[in-house]
Homo-oligomer: A and B are copies of this chain.
Amino acid sequence: MSSAGRSLDGGSQVQVAAAAKGIPEATIARLPVYLRALTSLADRGIDTISSGALAEAAGVNSAQLRKDLSYLGSYGTRGVGYDVEYLRFQIGREVGSAHEWPVIIVGLGNLGTALANYSGFTSRGFRVVAMVDPSPDLIGKRIHGVAITDLADLEEEVARTGAAIAVLATPAEAAQAVADRLVYLGVTSILNFAATVLAVPDGVNVRKVDLGQELQILAYHEQRKSDDVQRELERGGTAQ
On chain B, the residues within 8 Å of A197 by CB distance are: 33, 37, 57-59
B228:A215 contact, CB within 8 angstroms:
no
Indicate whether A160 reaches chain B with its CB closer than 8 angstroms. no
B110:A217 contact, CB within 8 angstroms:
no
Q: Which of B12, B25, B217 contacts A214, CB < 8 Å?
A: B12
Interface residues on A, range: 35 or more
Please give the residue numbers on chain A whose beta carbons come within 8 Å of chain B beta carbons, in ascending order.
3-4, 8-14, 16-18, 20-21, 25-26, 28-33, 35-37, 57-59, 94-97, 101, 103, 110-111, 113-115, 117-118, 120-121, 123-126, 164-165, 167, 188-191, 195, 197, 199, 203, 205, 207, 209-225, 227-228, 231-232
A222:B205 contact, CB within 8 angstroms:
yes
Complex alpha-carbon distance, A101 and B18, angstroms: 41
Q: Which of B35, B110, B228 contacts A17, CB < 8 Å?
A: B228
Complex alpha-carbon distance, A207 and B216, angstroms: 11
A211:B8 contact, CB within 8 angstroms:
no
Q: How far is the CB of A101 from chain B (nearest CB, A)?
A: 5
Closest-by-CB residue of B relative to A19 is B224
Q: Which of B32, B211, B215, B232 contacts A216, CB < 8 Å?
A: B32
Instruction: Give the number of copies in the complex.
Output: 2
B10:A231 contact, CB within 8 angstroms:
no
Q: Which of B33, B210, B218, B231 contacts A165, CB < 8 Å?
A: B218
Also in contact, A120 and B207, with CB within 8 A (given A16-B221, A114-B114, A221-B4) = no
Q: Which of B121, B123, B219 contacts A97, CB < 8 Å?
A: B219
Q: Which of B14, B114, B123 contacts A212, CB < 8 Å?
A: B123
Complex alpha-carbon distance, A26 and B10, angstroms: 6
Also in contact, A32 and B209, with CB within 8 A (given A110-B117, A113-B110) = no
Complex alpha-carbon distance, A172 and B91, angstroms: 22
Complex alpha-carbon distance, A227 and B120, angstroms: 25
